Chain A
Amino acid sequence: MSTSTTVPESLSAAPTVTGSSWTRRIIQNFYVRRIAKAVFTIWVVSTIIFFLIRLLPGNPVEQYIARLIETQGMDYENARMQAAALFAIDLDAPMWKQYIDYLGNLMRGNLGVSITSPGTTVTSIIARFLPWTLFSVGTGLILSFTLGILLGLMMAYRREGLLDHTLTIFASVVSSVPNYLIGILLVVWLGVQWKVLPIAQMRGTMSPGVTPAFTFAFLYDALFHAFLPITTYVLTTVGTWMLSMKGSTVGTLGEDFVTVARARGLKDWRITTAYVGRNAALPLFTQLTIAIGFVVGGSFLIETIFQYQGIGYVLSAAIAQRDYPVMQGVFLVITVSVILANLMADFLYGWLDPRIKVG
């Protein structure tokens, strides 16, 4: 960045030099480079998915053809045609042609058609179910991240105190219990034994008769149905945030700039937020991106337990029924969501930590 700005005026006046410094500035731009990296990763992942489906022994296409012949008594030609239509590929074309077509379809958003519900495109299934997962997982993560950072900060400031010990035990326990167990326990305790929550009504993503709209009633209904998944996400992840933040804060409290800030007579609140908290939270943003991918991928157990129709619910149904095009689409969505989350975190990080953009 600095190289282009320090070009002497006499030089930058020459058209050729301006051109090259202009392109160089784009290439060296932090955001441009990160986006290019993300696009490249998505391409690599989709290529791997393509070859996995076709090259593995007993690949889904062959299996589907065999199943059609067995169950429906179709002849091989017909079965093959139907399979090709479902997966949106031309089975007679050479491999490289199939690959190019696949990439072309992908760019147009064509991921094939579902096997179990013929006529429904995978893209439309994803478009219908993904927002619910993003909503519940996103809310859960933001809540648990915020809560974890605040509690971790408190624990570090009062370390070795009663609050610290209590919260450390709590954090270790909740983060060591698997999320599906916490989900089941929530159903058993809150719904069945204590009858605090109307579990049956909370199933699904919306109550019947409610339509998505920007109204308070809809938002309330959406949160009502997402309450248990969100609670589970928060409970299973908040412990890790708390402990990471505590460790990070203890380290930051020992930094010279904190002592200097106190010597400068800054108010405690300002030191805690802008000097300690902000610097201690920085490394946690990297962990946040990993968590987003993990939770989207791992959401299928939770969504099955609570009968919450998100992308995880779709995935578990697709796995049970060997709906390969849907599985392929969902896997792609999961990887893309991880990559996008990473990209977002990088941009956020570049804004939060000025040292990053330089490197």
Chain B
Amino acid sequence: MAKNKLDWHTGEQNNGRAPLSLENVHVSYATRRGKVRAIRGVTLDLHAGESLALIGESGSGKSTLGLAIVRLLPETAETSPGVITYRRDGREVDVLRLKPNEMREFRWSECAMVFQAALNAFNPVLKVWAQALDTAKAHGWHDKDAIRRRLVELLEFVQLDPKRVIDSYPHELSGGMRQRVLLALSLLLNPQILILDEPTTALDIITQRTIIKLLRELKEEQHFTMIFISHDLAIAAELADRVATMYAGRVVELGASDDIFYRPRHPYTLGLIRAVPTVTGGFEQLFSIPGSPPDLVELPSGCKFHPRCAFATDRCKQEEPELEEVGPGHTAACWHWREVEAELQRNPLHRGALNVLDVIEIDEEVVS
């Protein structure tokens, strides 16, 4: 496979360091009303072989962050200040400084992104094969036989019949099939990082299961490094090693999957978990976070979550908390995380997230 000609720097002690590091990344959009501050200083390390889930409501900035990494934000967006460092084989590049052609080569061959709404992810007038060929050729890979062999292998991996799919037009495939073709295509150039933006949204539950199984295989058997963007906590819990909760353009809690779902320390994460409906539970168990996500042009003072927070005090209105260690490898940005902990002891989680996971386990047996 052709290796791209990025402007690599031979870093000093890069070996073994995270393939992707975000440092103080900001994204804002210029609009008539003012500056929309979509991302406000995100610092994250994506470790090799891990799968990191970004969770949060719509408008929390999770999709924007995904798009910022591959620099596909609209032209009105400004990504500064901030540094995104990408590392491979002991060398590193500054993603935000790549020239247009280098950026083009970086996309898909180093970092592929599977989008939500895969229904429209393909050019309607080209066959699957032509679109795969386009992708390979754009990255300097011209051996048609080898490309076809690789595509067949990947289509088989996503459990599609290559003979049928390769010469099909996108409209001849169902939504679930298209999503799987896109997944196969994202692996075509063997990227180091895979960003999945709501890969199961708009799919029925059975198809969701198939996709999740595939992703789990990618994670467990091929040790892909993945960023998983979802508002579906059950799926995030199932696939992620680590979870980052985002609110108003910031990471407000970050920790191992179990810590986040069983021992949340940020009131927002707790709210999200309690808002997950259970299939068997009645309405009385349903909880929703009061209010709505903040206006990103005129953000509230202090902690951006305070107008909706049951734990909020005067301090929250004035000072915005930074991420602080609340457990081993577990950080949260809340002045009152100890009170959240106490509240959880008084009022244990209603097995909200757990229940959904249980349902999914049962569902899986039905499917297979």
User: Bound state CA distance, A268 and B115, in angstroms?
Assistant: 20
Stretch in B106-114, B214-222, B262-270, B357-365 with 4+ CB within 8 Å of A: B106-114
Question: Cβ of A108 < 8 Å from any Cβ of B?
Answer: no
Whether A259 lies near B171 (C-beta < 8 A) is: no
- A262-B135 contact, Cβ under 8 Å, with A354-B171, A355-B124: no
Whether A265 lies near B107 (C-beta < 8 A) is: yes
Whether A263 lies near B171 (C-beta < 8 A) is: no
Contact partners of B120 in chain A: CB under 8 A: 255-257
Contact partners of A352 in chain B: CB under 8 A: 125
Whether B122 lies near A257 (C-beta < 8 A) is: yes
Contact partners of A261 in chain B: CB under 8 A: 123, 134
Whether B72 lies near A259 (C-beta < 8 A) is: yes
Question: Cβ of B342 < 8 Å from any Cβ of A?
Answer: no
* Residues of A267-288 contacting chain B, CB below 8 A: 267-268, 270, 274-275, 278-279, 282
Closest to B185 in A: A264
- A263-B104 contact, Cβ under 8 Å, with A353-B125, A355-B169: no
User: Bound state CA distance, A354 and B123, in angstroms?
Assistant: 11
User: Bound state CA distance, A275 and B135, in angstroms?
Assistant: 13
Q: Chain B's nearest CB lies how many Å from the CB of A351? A: 10
- A355-B171 contact, Cβ under 8 Å, with A256-B120, A257-B120, A263-B72: yes
Whether B125 lies near A278 (C-beta < 8 A) is: yes
- A266-B125 contact, Cβ under 8 Å, with A256-B115, A260-B115: no
Sorting the interface of chain B by its residue count into under 10, 10 to 19, 20 to 34 or 35 or more gives: 20 to 34
Whether B125 lies near A354 (C-beta < 8 A) is: yes
Checking B121, B135, B169, B171 against A266 with a beta-carbon cut-off of 8 angstroms, the contacting residue is: B135
Q: Chain B's nearest CB lies how many Å from the CB of A194? A: 44
Whether A267 lies near B117 (C-beta < 8 A) is: no
Q: Chain B's nearest CB lies how many Å from the CB of A6? A: 13
Size of the A side of the interface (Cβ < 8 Å), in residues, is 24
Closest to A258 in B: B123
* Residues of B88-121 contacting chain A, CB below 8 A: 104-109, 112-113, 115, 117, 119-121
Whether B138 lies near A257 (C-beta < 8 A) is: no
Whether A265 lies near B104 (C-beta < 8 A) is: yes
Question: Cβ of B139 < 8 Å from any Cβ of A?
Answer: yes
Whether A358 lies near B171 (C-beta < 8 A) is: yes
Whether A267 lies near B104 (C-beta < 8 A) is: yes
* Residues of B169-187 contacting chain A, CB below 8 A: 169, 171-172, 182, 185
B 27-47 binary contact with A (CB < 8 Å = 1; else 0): 000000000000000000000
Contact partners of A263 in chain B: CB under 8 A: 70, 72, 107-108, 112-113, 115
User: Bound state CA distance, A237 and B92, in angstroms?
Assistant: 54
Whether B122 lies near A264 (C-beta < 8 A) is: no
Checking A265, A274, A353, A355 against B105 with a beta-carbon cut-off of 8 angstroms, the contacting residue is: A265
Q: Chain B's nearest CB lies how many Å from the CB of A133? A: 33
Whether B108 lies near A264 (C-beta < 8 A) is: yes
Contact partners of B106 in chain A: CB under 8 A: 265
- A266-B72 contact, Cβ under 8 Å, with A261-B123, A275-B123, A358-B171: no
Identify the A interface with B (CB < 8 A). 255-257, 259-268, 270, 274-275, 278-279, 282, 352-355, 358
Q: A263-B108, A353-B125 given. 8 additional CB < 8 A pairs?
A: A260-B122, A262-B107, A263-B72, A265-B139, A266-B104, A267-B138, A354-B124, A354-B169
8 smallest A-B Cβ distances: which pairs?
A: A256-B120, A265-B107, A265-B108, A260-B121, A354-B169, A266-B138, A264-B135, A264-B108
25 contacts between A and B (CB under 8 A): A256-B117, A256-B121, A257-B124, A259-B115, A260-B115, A260-B122, A262-B72, A262-B107, A263-B72, A263-B113, A265-B104, A265-B105, A265-B106, A267-B104, A274-B123, A275-B123, A278-B125, A279-B123, A279-B124, A279-B125, A354-B125, A354-B169, A355-B124, A355-B171, A358-B171
